[in-house]
Structure 1
Amino acid sequence: MSSTRTDDDARQGTPEGTTGADDQLTDPSPGELTDRAPAADEAPGAPLVLVLHGARGDLSRRSVYPALATLQRRRLLPQHWALLGTGREDMADDEFRAHVAASLEEFGHEGDDPEALTRHSVFCSEVGDDDPGTLPAALERVRGVLADAAGCDRDDVVVVHYLAIPPAAFEPLTRNLGRHGLTRGPDGRAETVRVVYEKPYGTDPDSFHRLDAVVHDALEERQVFRIDHFLGKEATQNLHVLRFANELFESVWCRDHVEQVQIDVPETLDVAQRAEFYDATGAALDMVVSHLFQVAAQVAMEPPKGMSIDNLVAAREAAIACFRPLDPADDVVLGQFEGYRDIEGVDDASTTDTFIAARLWVDNDRWRGVPFLLRTGKRMAASAQRVTLVLRRDPVRLFGDKVEAGLISLSLKGDGAIEVTTSIKKPGPELDLVPGTARLDLSDVEGAEPLSPYASLVHDVLVGDRTLFTTPEGLEEAWRAFAPMLGDARPDPLPYAPGSWGPAEADRLAEPHGWVVRG
């Protein structure tokens, strides 16, 4: 994109981003820096500068800007805050604000106020290896203006760096943030600077270790927030609440009563819009080692010692440590939809998987012998995001084999829903048993105001809550369990027709009940 900034501007240290910050933030009155005064019962948080690296990218457009707009509308942003976008190519502030507004127009929600976001937005050039760009100067000026408006010390302004950039850029940008003094506050404190990393956090154990070493060379662990948006879903968060707050469910949450756990995320979507990325990644790397493993851990974890951040994270990651490494020969089926290789940007001989079904075993006393069935893929017959516990049944007693397996199921799509399926008498003169399902949509709960996964996780970053974020220890164990899929034992993907449920060979993994999500 073109820029109105001149070379003289850059040489004189008065970059477009800094000039924009002056123009935008010189008036320290609340009217310039916020859309409202805090409610009487709402304690305003510390002033915030959100630095969005990759501000022109698809992730920012589709997810980050709508999340910020939701938080702004719901009064969950601090009273005094500003958004600094960065990029390798210059962009005028007005052009950046128009970009943000256009993103909300396309991907935002009813009630979003683009002006509420764009009046806080300025654009800066990205920090480089030797050239700090315009970001440090703009950041310091904005930090000072926000501190003046809030009547606090500039050292107390929180700065969040959100890395909405390609994973290959994580390492160099992290180094540069540290090199140019952007990983600490003005007084050297770490707690006022946070850095958000998107997935994938490494693409194999070696790249994970390299990235993690770079991150911890520049940052303390408490500053690091590794996003997995499946953990931000309302229904995923409800997994441990449903279980631990209700004896009805906790009493059956074990191998004595559960025959299978299914975590199923089929998608009808194609990959044409991001074929180059997808062909280098595939379904297994894109979904299993991150999203599906994390959700499996939410299901499998032992009761935590308490509901504190540390206790919940420790319980989830202790479950991952019990994951048996995947067995590619017996427990994994890969697929590739027919026509995938014809997509522009995909290698004609590509062996990338667009489908995976896997049987995961959790080797602890609670779950030993219970298969956790994971499935996801592109161009499938339907889209779903569902966690289902298939309950055991005893066909010998009373009703014999008329009793079907009961289900405890959570839909993770949208605002989420909880379903319980059990055998009931069919109304009528005969004693006929049929399955019946009771459903609770989480959006129907009285007073419910669900947040989107990204809005929920961004809010957690702003308040410093790391409950729903991954740690190096948990990722280490996830890579250990996934590692067999990275070697020569990885099975070849089998063809499947677009619009189907994937290769028929995947059905054997879900025997005897079959996949709950099916046509």
Structure 2
Amino acid sequence: MTSNPDRNDDRDPSATGGTDLAAAEPTAPEAPAHPLVLVLHGARGDLARRSVYPALATLHRRGLLPEHWALLGTGREDMPNEEFHQLVAQSLREFGGDDGTDEPDDAVVAALTRHTVFCSEVGDEDPGTLPAALEHVRGVLAEAADGDAADVVVVHYLAIPPAAFEPLARNLHRHGLTRGPDGSADTVRVVFEKPYGTDPDSFRRLDAVVHDALEESQVFRIDHFLGKEAVQNLHVLRFGNELFANAWDSRHVEQVQIDVPETLDVAQRAEFYDATGAALDMVVSHLFQVAAQVAMEPPKGMDVANLVQAREDAIACFRPLDPTDDVVLGQFEGYRDIEGVEDGSTTDTFIAARLWVDNNRWRGVPFLLRTGKRMAASAQRVTLVLRRDPERLFGDRVEPGLISLSLKGDGAIEVTTSIKKPGPNLEIVAGTARLDLGDVEGGEPLAAYASLLQDVLVGDRTLFTTPEGLEHAWRAFEPLLGDDRPDPLPYAPGSWGPAEAAALAAPHGWFAGD
């Protein structure tokens, strides 16, 4: 699956395909048929509380969990089941469902705690209580479903610090937890959160350990940005609408902006963040993946294999970042005073980068990436800035047109174009039409974590990354890990980051915020 960065040079960038885009039959999501055991490693953690339990609540409310299922939480220290039930219930009451619903009713809380058990984590030599509990619960579910224990699907969700991925993968394998009772890998899946490695070497080392323990078909590397409704709508917006398909290339697009500013602080996870930073936390995973969704060539079909291949081919065309000319790092003032942050830390809390996609469709078009903490506003937006010809007819009165997708919440699509201002004079202004995806008739969006978790349960790998894609991503990111990495520039909390970042987005500036 390795790709030459210029493999697409022989393609006409204005072509919408040249391939047969198989029409996808509309299907409503269905609950998995087989019983399920979800093993949540790191069940006490912030990720579990904020994201996984609310996602489960959403799937339960939408009827997308199988009839027979159980949740096993794990941790290094034992926890009485009653206390675990309280933790799950408190999480749901604090964060609701990840579909935006408020505090769930008692029936939802009861459903999620009825078959919930806490186990001690597997260790190097000590298997803890997890293997025995899993065997017992698997048998109970099989009996309830009048089936075979070998048919029960087991999903190990690693909601743990990235440093624990390698040892836990080894231990799951060592204690026989990566296969079903019949020795098959088909019914056991493992979900890894980001970051999947912290540099190319650690990525390759982790990937080798994972493949010693698991088949690639069992591995789900989750990136919740790919689960967002608006990101998934990129396919339909572009390939299902001739108006946009014909504008999706360097002849018509001047810039692509992928902008994720955040007002959030890092105090709640300062120790993790100080060892990671904005670039590692967001660029290799989220922003590169979204950029690939925008940049991909028309796939040969809308099936899993072709969509994944098209996304990975796009990442293979990413030119390695130039830290000297194309990257601005920042650190908000006061960051070093946060408990858990190293004295004199040079961790970046902001990054703006100019990415180049070296193929015929996008050569010469900058993909502008920006994200940071403690910024003036929060947004998650993809914007295609369209070219204009200011010398013809209307001169410089015409503003650039925009095709924009808001990735927040249920998502929205916006188109900004020049129109005549109503009145007696020929005065041109910009007008924006907006479609909120949550308002589409008959639509009921799934939030990102619920959507991706449902994909894991049914074995759909379309929105998950692969080793080949991550290898390409690390190649493009690697220069930022070397000696040419720029020093983070200070910026005031509540601002738009270092002023130097504005130059990357010239001549128009960033559209998501300022």
For 1:319, the equivalent position in structure 2 comes to: 314
Structure 1 residues without counterparts, runs of 5 or longer: 1-40
Question: How far is 1:518 from its partner?
Answer: 2.5
Letter in 2 for 1:200: P
Match of 1:510 among 489, 505, 512: 505
Tell me which residue corresponds to 1:442: 437
Q: Does the CA-based 8 Å contact 2:32-2:458 persist in structure 1?
A: no
Q: Which amino acid aligns with 1:134?
A: T
Q: Name the structure 2 match of 1:72.
A: 60
2: CA distance, partners of 1:196 / 1:45: 20
Q: Distance in 1 between matches of 2:505 and 2:406?
A: 19
1:101–1:214 CA distance, 2 compared to 1 (3 A)? same
How many residues are paired up? 479
Equivalences for residues 10-89 of structure 1 within 5 A:
45-89=33-77
Which structure would you say has the larger Rg?
A: 1
CA shift for structure 1 position 254: 0.3
3-state secondary structure, aligned to 2:312: helix
Give the corresponding residue for 1:30: none
The within-5 A match list for 1:185-264 is: 185-264=180-259
Q: Map residues 113-512 of structure 1 onto 2, 5 A cutoff.
A: 113-512=108-507
Change in Cα spacing, 1:457 to 1:54, as seen in structure 2 (3 Å) is same
Cα distance in 1 between the residues matched to 2:308 and 2:321: 23
Whichever residue aligns with residue 430 of structure 1, its letter is N
- Give 3-state SS (helix, strand or coil) of 1:473's partner: helix
1:8 equivalent in structure 2: none
Q: Which moved more, 1:260-269 or 1:390-399?
A: 390-399
Q: Which amino acid aligns with 2:339?
A: E
Equivalent residue for 1:96, pick from 60, 84, 88: 84
- Output the CA distance in 1 between the equivalents of 2:35 and 2:341: 45
Deviation per residue, 1:267-326 (Å, 9 max, x gap): 011111111111111110100111000000000000000000000000001000000000
**Any idea what the Cα deviations from partners look like across 1:21-56, whole Å, max 9, x if unmatched?**
xxxxxxxxxxxxxxxxxxxx9675100000000011
Aligned equivalents of 1:142, 1:270: Cα separation in 2: 40
The CA deviation string for residues 156-176 of structure 1, in whole angstroms up to 9 with x for no partner, is 000000000111110000000
Write the letter of the residue equivalent to 2:118.
Answer: F
Partner AA of 1:415 in structure 2: D
Preserved CA contact (<8 Å) 2:31 2:65: no
Residues 359-393 of structure 1: CA distance to partner in whole angstroms, max 9, x if unpaired? 00000000000000000001111000000000000
- The answer as to whether partners of 2:38 and 2:155 remain within 8 angstroms in 1 is yes
Separation (CA, whole Å) in 2 of partners of 1:99 and 1:428: 61
1:406–1:126 Cα change, 3 Å: same
SS at match of 1:404: coil
Runs of 4+ with deviation above 2 angstroms: 41-44, 109-112
Aligned residue identity for 2:480: M
RMSD of aligned residue pairs (Cα, Å): 1.0
Structure 2: gaps of 5 or more residues = 1-28
Higher relative contact order (CA 8 A, sep 6+): 2
Partner Cα separation in structure 2 for residue 150 and residue 232 of structure 1: 30
Q: Which amino acid aligns with 2:209?
A: V
CA distance in structure 2 between the partners assigned to 1:517 and 1:442 by the alignment: 18
Whole-Å separation in 1 of the counterparts to 2:381 and 2:32: 37
Q: 1:518 to 1:161 in 2, by over 3 A?
A: same
> How far apart, CA to CA, are the structure 1 residues paired with 2:301 and 2:473?
24
Distance between the aligned counterparts of 2:210 and 2:118, measured in 1? 25
Name the aligned partner's letter for residue 258 of structure 1.
V
Inter-partner Cα distance in structure 2 for 1:42 and 1:454: 17
TM-aligned CA deviation for residue 452 of structure 1: 1.1
Give the match's secondary structure for 1:324. Answer: coil
CA distance, structure 1, for counterparts of residue 505 and residue 304 of structure 2: 34
> Aligned with 1:329: secondary structure?
coil
C-alpha displacement of 1:499 = 0.7
1:22 equivalent in structure 2: none
One-letter amino acid matched to 1:68: L
Instruction: Please tell me whether the aligned partners of residues 259 and 512 of structure 2 are also in contact (alpha carbons under 8 angstroms).
Output: yes
Taking structure 2 as the reference length, the TM-score comes to 0.92
What is the identity, as a one-letter code, of the residue corresponding to 2:375? M
Which letter does structure 2 place at the counterpart of 1:165? I
SS in 1 for 2:324: helix
What displacement does 1:353 show?
0.6
Contact 2:250 2:361 in 1 (8 A): yes
Aligned residue identity for 1:49? V
- Three-state SS of the structure 2 residue aligned to 1:330 is coil
Amino acid at match of 1:216: H
Aligned to 2:443, the other structure's residue is in SS state coil
Letter aligned with residue 105 of structure 1: R
